[in-house]
Amino acid sequence: MPKKNAFYAQSGGVTAVINASACGVIETARKHSDQIGKVYAGHNGIIGALREDMIDTSQESAETIAALRHTPAGAFGSCRYKLKSLEENRAEYERLIEVFKAHDIGYFFYNGGGDSADTCLKVSQLSEKMGYPIQAIHIPKTVDNDLPFTDNCPGFGSVAKYVAVSTKEASLDVASMCESSTKVFILEVMGRHAGWIAAASALAAEEAGDPPHIILFPEVPFHEQDFLARVEQTVKEQGYCVIVASEGAQNPDGALIAGSVTTDAFGHQQLGGVAPTLAALIKHELGYKYHWALADYLQRSARHIASATDVEQAYAVGKAAVEYALAGKNSVMVTIERCAGEDYQWKLGEAPLEKVANIEKKMPSDFITRDGFGITQLARDYLAPLIAGEDYPPYRNGIPQYAKLNKVAVEKTLNTPFDI
Amino acid sequence: MPKKNAFYAQSGGVTAVINASACGVIETARKHSDQIGKVYAGHNGIIGALREDMIDTSQESAETIAALRHTPAGAFGSCRYKLKSLEENRAEYERLIEVFKAHDIGYFFYNGGGDSADTCLKVSQLSEKMGYPIQAIHIPKTVDNDLPFTDNCPGFGSVAKYVAVSTKEASLDVASMCESSTKVFILEVMGRHAGWIAAASALAAEEAGDPPHIILFPEVPFHEQDFLARVEQTVKEQGYCVIVASEGAQNPDGALIAGSVTTDAFGHQQLGGVAPTLAALIKHELGYKYHWALADYLQRSARHIASATDVEQAYAVGKAAVEYALAGKNSVMVTIERCAGEDYQWKLGEAPLEKVANIEKKMPSDFITRDGFGITQLARDYLAPLIAGEDYPPYRNGIPQYAKLNKVAVEKTLNTPFDI
> CB contact, 8 Å: B244 with chain A?
no
Please state whether the peptide bond connecting residue A133 to the residue before it is cis, i.e. omega within 30 degrees of 0: no
How far, in Å, are A15, A17, B308 from residue A156 at the CA level? Answer: 8, 9, 29
* pLDDT (average), residues A55-70: 98
Handedness of CA B308, B312, B317, B321 (dihedral sign): positive
- pLDDT tens for each residue of A75-115: 999 999 888 888 888 899 999 999 999 999 999 999 999 88
Contact by Cβ (8 Å): B169, B302 = no
Inspect the interface and report whether the beta carbons of B397 and A384 lie closer than 8 Å: yes
Nearest by CB to residue A166, choosing from B81, B276, B298, is B298
Distance (Å, rounded) from C-alpha B36 to C-alpha B2? 9
Is a pLDDT exceeding 50 seen at residue A418?
yes
| Mean predicted confidence (pLDDT) in A338-353 | 96
SS (HEC) of chain A: CCCEEEEEEECCCCCCCHHHHHHHHHHHHHHCCCCEEEEEEECCCHHHHHCCCEEEHHHCCHHHHHHHHHCCCCCCCCCCCCCCCCCCCHHHHHHHHHHHHHCCEEEEEEEECHHHHHHHHHHHHHHHHCCCCCEEEEEECCCCCCCCCCCCCCCHHHHHHHHHHHHHHHHHHHHHHCCCCCCEEEEEECCCCCCHHHHHHHHHCCCCCCCCCEEECCCCCCCHHHHHHHHHHHHHHHCCEEEEEECCCECCCCCECCCCCEECCCCCEECCCHHHHHHHHHHHHHCCCEEEEECCHHHHHCHHHCEHHHHHHHHHHHHHHHHHHHCCCCCEEEEEEECCCCCCCEEEEEEEHHHHCCCCCCCCHHHECCCCCCECHHHHHHHHHHHCCECCCCEECCEECCCCCCCCECCCCCCCCCCC
Answer yes or no: do A296 and B291 touch at CB < 8 A: yes
pLDDT band at A325 (very low <50, low <70, confident <90, very high): very high
Fold agreement (A4-142+304-359+390-400, A156-303): yes
AA identity, residue B50: L
Using 50, 70 and 90 to split pLDDT, how confident is the model at B1? low
Report CB contact under 8 Å: B71, A172.
yes
Q: Do residue A79 and residue B175 have CB atoms under 8 angstroms apart?
A: no
Assess B3–A contact: CB distance below 8 Å, yes or no.
Answer: no
Contact A134, A329 (CB under 8 A): no
CB–CB contact A301 B172 (8 Å): yes
- B 33-92 residues inside an 8 A Cβ radius of A: 44-45, 47, 71-75, 77-81
Could you give phi then psi for residue B249, rounded to 5 degrees?
-60, 140
E strands in B324-371? 332-338, 346-352
- DSSP symbol at B250: B
Is A302 in CB contact (< 8 Å) with chain B?
yes
User: Can you give the pLDDT at residue A419?
Assistant: 81
pLDDT single digits (tens) B90-105: 899 999 999 999 999 9
* DSSP reduced 3-state for B335: strand
Closest-CA residue to B13 (of B190, B256, B263, B200): B190
| Test mutation, B399, B402, B405, B420, chain A, max A CBs within 10 A | B399
Which pLDDT does position A360 carry in this prediction? 84
Strand (E) or helix (H) holding B340: none
The residue extents of the domains of chain B are 4-142+305-357+390-400, 156-303
Question: In which order are the strands placed within the sheet that holds A346-352?
Answer: A54-56, A36-42, A4-10, A105-112, A135-140, A332-338, A346-352
Cα B387 to Cα A41: distance, rounded to the nearest angstrom: 35
For residues A218 and A192, give the distance between their C-alpha atoms in angstroms, rounded to a whole number: 7
CA–CA separation, A234 vs A56, rounded Å? 56
A170/B79 touch (CB, cutoff 8 Å), yes or no: no
Q: Give the side-chain half-sphere CA count within 13 A for A195.
A: 28
For the stretch B42-62, pLDDT in tens is 999 999 999 999 999 999 999
Chain B contact for A211, CB < 8 A?
no
Put simply, the answer to whether B294 touches A297 (Cβ < 8 Å) is no
How far apart, in whole angstroms, are the C-alpha atoms of residue B305 and residue B298? Answer: 11
Q: Which of A118, A144, A146, A391 is catalytic?
A: A144
Cβ(B301)–Cβ(A170) below 8 Å = yes
Count of pairs with CB atoms under 8 A, one residue in A, one in B:
210
| Mean pLDDT of the region A390-418 | 95
Residue of A nearest to B157 (CA): A398
Residues of chain A numbered 6-25 and touching chain B (CB < 8 Å)? 10, 13-14, 16
* Average pLDDT estimate for A274-296: 93
With a CB-CB cutoff of 8 Å, which residues 141-170 of chain A face chain B? 161, 164-166, 168-170
Q: Give pLDDT, residue A276.
A: 86
What is the average pLDDT value for chain A, to the nearest integer? 94
Length of chain A, in residues: 420
Residue A262 has pLDDT above 50, yes or no: no
- Quick one: pLDDT band at residue A264, thresholds 50, 70, 90? very low
Q: How many CB atoms lie within 10 A of CB B395?
A: 17
- Per-residue pLDDT band for A211 (boundaries 50, 70, 90) equals very high
Question: Which chain A residues are Cβ-neighbours of B204 within 8 angstroms?
Answer: 399
Tell me how far apart the alpha carbons of residues B142 and B17 are, in angstroms, rounded to a whole number: 10
- Which DSSP symbol is given to B52? T
User: What value does the mean pLDDT take over residues A281-295?
Assistant: 94
Q: For chain B, what is the mean pLDDT? A: 94
Residues of A in contact with B80 (CB under 8 A): 177, 180-181
Q: Which of B115, B118, B144, B310 is catalytic?
A: B144
Mean pLDDT within B308-320: 98
Q: What is the pLDDT of residue A158?
A: 98
CA distance A382 to chain B (A): 13
Give me the amino acid identity at B214: I
The verdict on A204 touching B (C-beta cutoff 8 Å) is yes
pLDDT score of A267: 52
Q: Are the Cβ atoms of B389 and A400 closer than 8 angstroms?
A: no
Structure confidence by residue, pLDDT tens digits, A121-168: 999 988 888 899 999 999 999 999 999 999 999 999 999 999 999 999
Task: Give the closest of A47, A161, A180 to B47, CB-based.
Answer: A180
The beta strand positions in B166-285, using DSSP E, are 184-189, 214-216, 241-246, 262-263, 269-270
Is B366 a catalytic site residue?
Answer: no
Question: Which stretch of A156-170, A248-262, A370-384, B91-105 has the lowest confidence by average pLDDT?
Answer: A248-262
Which whole-number Å values give the CA distances from B198 to A60, B97, B170, B234, B318, in the listed order? 34, 40, 15, 19, 27
Residue B262 in this model has a pLDDT that exceeds 90: no
Contact A298 B296 (CB under 8 A): no
CA atoms within 13 A on the CB side of B288: 28
Whether residue A398 and residue B164 make contact (CB cut-off 8 A), yes or no, is yes
Say how many Å lie between the first and final Cα of chain A, rounded: 34
**B310 pLDDT tier (thresholds 50, 70, 90):** very high
DSSP-based three-state secondary structure for B356: helix
User: Does the pLDDT at position A7 exceed 60?
Assistant: yes
Residues of B in contact with A13 (CB under 8 A): 177
Question: How many whole angstroms separate alpha carbon B302 and alpha carbon B311?
Answer: 12
The C-alpha of A350 sits at a distance from chain B's nearest C-alpha, in angstroms, of 28
Per-residue burial over B335-358, b if 16 or more Cβ lie within 10 Å, else e, is bbeeeeeeeeebebebbebeebbe
Give CA B34 to chain center in angstroms: 33
How close A229 comes to chain B (CA, Å)? 24
Q: Say if the Cβ atoms of B298 and A170 lie within 8 Å.
A: yes
What pLDDT, in 10s, does the model give residues B338-356? 999 989 999 999 999 999 8
Alpha-carbon distance of A297 to B233, in angstroms, equals 23
The pLDDT score that the predictor gives to residue A399 is: 98
Q: Note the pLDDT of residue B203.
A: 98
* CA proximity to B268, closest of A188, A241, A289: A289
CA distance to partner chain B, nearest, from residue A66 (Å): 18
The dihedral through the CA atoms of B263, B264, B267, B271 has a sign that is: negative
CATH 3.40.50.450 fits domain B4-142+305-357+390-400: yes
Chain B partners within 8 Å of A47 (Cβ): 179-180
Task: Compute the nearest-CA separation of B131 from chain A (Å).
Answer: 31
Q: What is the pTM of this model?
A: 0.96
In Å, what is the CA distance from A344 to each residue of A338, A347, A377, B85, B300?
7, 10, 15, 60, 34
DSSP B151-191: SS-TTHHHHHHHHHHHHHHHHHHHHHHTTTS--EEEEEE--
Q: Does A401 touch chain B (CB under 8 A)?
A: no
What are the tens digits of pLDDT across the range B60-71?
A: 999 999 999 999
Nearest-10 Cα torsion for A9, A386, A361, A326: 40
φ, ψ of residue B5 to 5 degrees: the values are: -80, 170
Q: Which residues of A touch B13 (CB under 8 A)?
A: 177
Chosen for mutation from A46, A173, A270 (greatest number of chain B CBs closer than 10 Å) is A173
Using 50, 70 and 90 to split pLDDT, how confident is the model at B267?
low
Compute CA distances A285 → A136, A186, A233, B66, whole Å. 55, 16, 13, 42
Pick the CATH number of A4-142+304-359+390-400 from 3.40.50.620, 3.40.50.450, 3.20.20.370, 3.40.50.970: 3.40.50.450
Query: Per-residue confidence at A35, pLDDT binned at 50, 70, 90?
Result: very high
Give the residue-averaged pLDDT of B324-336: 97
pLDDT for res B89:
86
Interval B185-242: pLDDT, tens: 999 999 989 999 999 999 999 998 999 999 999 999 999 999 999 999 999 999 999 9
List A residues 359-398 in contact with B (Cβ-Cβ < 8 A).
384, 387-390, 392, 395, 397-398
Edge-to-edge strand list for the sheet holding B54-56: B54-56, B36-42, B4-10, B105-112, B135-140, B332-338, B346-352
With an 8 Å Cβ cutoff, is B400 touching chain A?
A: yes
ipTM for the predicted complex comes to 0.96
d(CA B153, CA B112): 10
pLDDT at A244 over 90: yes
- Rounded CA gap, B27 and B10, in Å? 16
Find the residue in A nearest to B185 (Cα). Answer: A297
Cα separation, B329 vs B134, in Å, equals: 10
Contacts of A165 in chain B (CB under 8 A): 304, 399-400
Q: What is the pLDDT of residues B393-416, one digit of tens each?
A: 999 999 999 999 999 999 999 978
What would the CATH number be for the domain defined by B156-303?
3.40.50.460
Q: Does B313 touch chain A (CB under 8 A)?
A: no
The answer to whether A181 faces chain B, any CB pair under 8 Å, is yes
- The answer to whether A356 touches A114, Cβ cutoff 8 Å, is yes
Average pLDDT over residues B248-265: 74
> Which residues does chain A have within 8 Å of residue B309's beta carbon, measured at their own beta carbons?
398
